[in-house]
């Protein structure tokens, strides 16, 4: 349909119809046969009204969506198709590692492959819009939702965000197998105070713009069709009614012209926040702020008409919101084909097909992070191995958003090892009970592998923790085994970086497996036995203890830095009872063997404002295995009108190297990479001295200085 036809359609719609387009209900309104049996009284709706709303959330399955779309179009006066939206976060039924793990692949192209497969499966099941990716920056692992984010770094998050959006939408979301992407949660949900979910945020303008909004800017530029508001406040105003955030920053400044949706009942919750007096006031503030669709609350439905009649809201605002929704339906091709890709045959053919399972496995190979290795890894199948811990046989390691997966098909760690290494001498004790049998076997084993950490029920929405140390039970188990045999490989599962300083000091090897998805434990087994060389890098620093949170590698400087040497620190910025540094920083991760780097060279030490300089290193793979090396480029502005981070990731290349192979890697540095919000909030670069590092991780000392003229 062209724009004129859409405008004509809008003009023909009654005000009531328009308002219904702004309402989203969830699947609880309909039974399995598409009959409305849901909470219509609670929402003060007629039985017919749920069929007339603009969009539904949580309905899935080709047959169901085709049937419901028919019913809805029949009852919508202009037969406007409904939008079907769902949380397809890290896979639909083929589940990939959780986003915090995907971030740890340090491979944005891989993230694009993941969302492309998620879109292929979900669109066959009739879903047209996904509430994904979540691109919130997160530096506090108390927040359970850090699992859904790609980590602590603005630049890495931005690259992940744009690739994930592209994977879902492609160049044209009407195409088969593509869907619209709704980025969330706008904005700074990852900065909820003290890591407690749904809490308020307190951020400086600099931190908001410079750190938290970078991924949004990138995803909007990449064409994300929708934006979801966040539950938290910015500047003490709930995001869903935050006009400055939604209109001035998102629409005006970032140029976003797609659809804004509230989070689940977030508009109604502004009454609980105390910033809206009642439902009518919430409706007024929501539409004025620029929230187009109200998810699962009824303020717009019951109050917009009256607000327009009394002149408190102009009908133009409603028209603009409806037009954005109609344009999205049109961009998805729904006026021509309201079922989009819903197809029972395609569901059977595509969902959890072998190709997708293989990708779930190979993605996990790059997400798992080796944090310590005293030489105990890789294992050999000649060793006597004991594997202990309930997580070794737990299927709940796919992630709390893996709602539609068949968990019976999840590959556990035990299944991964038994299937791929049947010849290995492995005894399993898949329990967290420290039994005499287990200790006796551990005592005589060559290696004990402990599966510790958290399963998917411990992270996700509303799963914040005040203490992120390893549970007492798992600590006791580690200590009991350590007392009989210190040759321990610890595999940590979970969706958040845990604080494990004592364990890390004692264990011989430490592997962060995250929540690796449907087939990720095949990758885990291959890494443990050395068929795959680990290449993941932490997307979030692993703190030393809860008290360090929030923490990030790029922390801003202080006027009283702690001296580098150990000893007595008088009046410096330090803790009495913990180091300042995390246990393992962002970007950190080992392989089996070393990749060496030559010193960085520059083709010029002076960067002209409109010019470029090229930085170069030569790497050599000294491992006995092929390796995928995440080459990281960091920059530091040595002097600024405001304090600048100690270092910032500004470039990344994941390079495959055969054993013994050398390769030259170059990065081009341009002035725009050096910009930031200066003391007057102008986004500029300031001439002067800069330092540049290229190396294996954020600790690299391989640096060179240059000047911006």
Q: State the helix-helix crossing angle for 266-273 and 279-289, rounded to 10 degrees.
A: 120
Give the residue with the Cβ less far from ligand NOJ, 150 or 698.
150
Q: Kindly state whether residue 136 participates in binding ligand NOJ, applying the rule CB under 6 A.
A: no
Give the residue with the Cβ less far from ligand NOJ, 53 or 450.
53
Ramachandran angles phi, psi of 390, nearest 5° = -60, -30
Q: Which of 131, 325, 85 is nearest to 228 (CA)?
A: 131
Supply the DSSP string of 290-324, one letter for each residue: T--BEES--HHHHHHHHHHHTTSS-HHHHHHHHHH
Q: Which residue is nearest to ligand NOJ (CB)?
A: 131
Q: Which of 87, 121, 298, 347 is in the footprint of ligand NOJ by CB under 6 A?
A: 87
560 in Cβ contact with 573 (< 8 Å): yes
Does the active-site annotation cover 171?
Answer: no
State the minimum distance, in angstroms, from the CB of residue 265 to ligand NOJ: 9
Angle at the Cα of 699 from the Cα atoms of 96 and 574, rounded to 5 degrees: 105
In angstroms, the CA 534 to CA 527 distance is: 6
State the minimum distance, in angstroms, from the CB of residue 400 to ligand NOJ: 11
- 87, 136, 263, 637: which is the annotated catalytic residue? 263
Q: Kindly state whether residue 264 participates in binding ligand NOJ, applying the rule CB under 6 A.
A: yes
CB atoms within 10 A of CB 544: 20
In the 3-class helix/strand/coil scheme, how is 165-194 assigned residue by residue? HHHHHCCCCCCCCCCEEEEEEECCHHHCHH
Residue 670, classed as helix, strand or coil, is strand
Q: Which of 378, 379, 359, 392 is nearest to 520 (CA)?
A: 359
State the minimum distance, in angstroms, from the CB of residue 667 to ligand NOJ: 35
Give the residue with the Cβ less far from ligand NOJ, 404 or 522.
404
First and final C-alpha spacing in the chain:
52
Burial class (CB in 10 A: 0-12, 13-18, 19+), 541: buried
184 in Cβ contact with 165 (< 8 Å): no
Total binding residues toward ligand NOJ, as defined by CB under 6 A: 7
Q: Kindly state whether residue 184 participates in binding ligand NOJ, applying the rule CB under 6 A.
A: yes
Distant-in-sequence, close-in-space partners of 572: CB < 8 Å, separation ≥ 6: 560, 561, 562, 563
Site for ligand NOJ in 411-440 (CB under 6 A): none
State the minimum distance, in angstroms, from the CB of residue 263 to ligand NOJ: 5
Give the residue with the Cβ less far from ligand NOJ, 56 or 488.
56
In angstroms, the CA 528 to CA 491 distance is: 10
Q: Which of 29, 96, 131, 216 is in the footprint of ligand NOJ by CB under 6 A?
A: 131
Give the residue with the Cβ less far from ligand NOJ, 57 or 509.
57
Q: Which of 211, 263, 366, 629 is in the footprint of ligand NOJ by CB under 6 A?
A: 263
Give the residue with the Cβ less far from ligand NOJ, 178 or 184.
184
Give the residue with the Cβ less far from ligand NOJ, 264 or 482.
264
Q: Kindly state whether residue 366 participates in binding ligand NOJ, applying the rule CB under 6 A.
A: no
Q: Which of 67, 70, 461, 646 is in the footprint of ligand NOJ by CB under 6 A?
A: 461
Give the residue with the Cβ less far from ligand NOJ, 57 or 391.
57
DSSP H helical ranges for 200-343? 205-207, 214-221, 243, 266-273, 279-289, 299-309, 315-331
Residues acting as catalytic residues = 263
Residues in touch with ligand NOJ (CB under 6 A): 57, 87, 131, 184, 263-264, 461
């Amino acid at each position: 349909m062209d724009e004129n036809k859409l405008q004509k359609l809008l003009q023909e719609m009654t005000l009531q119809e328009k308002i219904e387009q702004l309402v989203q209900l969830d699947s609880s309104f309909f039974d399995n046969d598409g009959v409305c049996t849901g909470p219509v009284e609670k929402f003060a709706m007629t039985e017919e009204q749920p069929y007339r709303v603009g969009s539904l959330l949580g309905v899935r399955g080709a047959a169901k969506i085709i049937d419901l779309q028919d019913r809805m179009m029949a009852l919508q006066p202009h037969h406007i198709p409904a939008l079907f939206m769902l949380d397809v976060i890290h896979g639909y039924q083929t589940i990939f590692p959780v986003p915090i793990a995907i971030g740890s692949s340090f491979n944005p192209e891989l993230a694009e492959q993941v969302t492309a497969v998620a879109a292929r499966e979900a669109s066959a099941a009739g879903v047209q819009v996904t509430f994904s990716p979540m691109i919130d920056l997160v530096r506090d692992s108390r927040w359970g939702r850090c699992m859904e984010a790609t980590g602590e770094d603005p630049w890495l998050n931005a690259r992940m965000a744009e690739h994930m959006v592209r994977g879902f939408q492609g160049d044209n979301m009407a195409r088969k197998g593509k869907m619209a992407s709704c980025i969330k949660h706008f904005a700074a949900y990852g900065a909820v105070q003290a890591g407690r979910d749904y809490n308020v945020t307190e951020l400086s303008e600099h931190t908001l713009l410079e750190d938290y909004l970078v991924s949004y800017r990138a995803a909007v530029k990449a064409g994300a069709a929708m934006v979801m508001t966040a539950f938290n406040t910015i500047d003490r105003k709930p995001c869903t009614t935050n006009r400055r955030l939604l209109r001035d920053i998102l629409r005006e400044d970032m140029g976003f012209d797609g659809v804004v949706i509230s989070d689940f009942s977030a508009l109604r919750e502004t009454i609980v926040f105390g910033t809206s007096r009642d439902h009518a006031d919430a409706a007024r503030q929501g539409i004025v702020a620029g929230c187009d669709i109200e998810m699962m609350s009824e303020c717009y439905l019951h109050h917009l008409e009256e607000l327009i009649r009394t002149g408190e809201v102009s009908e133009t605002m409603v028209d603009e919101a409806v037009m954005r929704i109609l344009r999205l339906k049109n961009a998805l091709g729904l006026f021509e084909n309201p079922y989009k890709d819903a197809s029972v045959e395609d569901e059977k053919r595509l969902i959890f097909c072998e190709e997708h399972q293989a990708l779930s496995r190979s993605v996990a190979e790059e997400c798992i992070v080796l944090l310590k290795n005293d030489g105990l890894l890789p294992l050999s199948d000649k060793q006597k191995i004991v594997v202990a811990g309930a997580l070794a046989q737990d299927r709940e390691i796919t992630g709390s958003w893996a709602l539609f997966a068949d968990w019976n098909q999840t590959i556990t760690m035990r299944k991964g090892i038994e299937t791929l290494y049947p010849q290995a001498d492995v005894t399993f004790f898949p329990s967290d009970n420290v039994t005499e049998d287990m200790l006796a076997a551990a005592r005589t084993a060559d290696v004990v592998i402990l599966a510790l950490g958290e399963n998917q029920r411990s992270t996700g929405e509303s799963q914040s923790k005040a203490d992120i140390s390893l549970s007492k039970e798992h600590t006791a188990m580690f200590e009991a085994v350590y007392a009989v045999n210190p040759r321990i490989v610890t595999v940590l599962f979970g969706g958040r970086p845990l604080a494990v300083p004592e364990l890390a000091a004692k264990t011989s090897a430490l592997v962060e497996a995250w929540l690796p998805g449907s087939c990720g434990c095949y990758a885990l087994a291959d890494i443990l036995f050395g068929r795959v060389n680990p290449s993941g890098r932490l997307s979030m620093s692993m703190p030393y203890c809860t008290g360090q949170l929030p923490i990030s590698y790029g922390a801003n400087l202080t006027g009283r830095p702690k001296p580098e040497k150990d000893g007595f620190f008088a009046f410096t910025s330090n803790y009495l009872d913990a180091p300042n540094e995390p246990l393992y920083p962002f970007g950190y991760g080992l392989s089996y063997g070393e990749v060496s780097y030559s010193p960085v060279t520059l083709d010029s030490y002076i960067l002209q404002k409109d010019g470029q300089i090229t930085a170069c290193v030569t790497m050599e793979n000294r491992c006995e295995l092929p390796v995928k090396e995440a080459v990281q480029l960091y920059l530091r502005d040595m002097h600024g009108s405001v304090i600048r981070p100690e270092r910032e990731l500004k470039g990344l290349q994941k390079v495959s190297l055969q054993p013994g192979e050398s390769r030259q890697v170059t990065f081009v540095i341009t002035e725009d990479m050096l910009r930031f919000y200066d003391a007057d909030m102008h986004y500029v670069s300031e001439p002067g001295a800069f330092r540049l590092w290229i190396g294996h991780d954020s600790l690299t000392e391989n640096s060179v200085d240059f000047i911006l003229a």
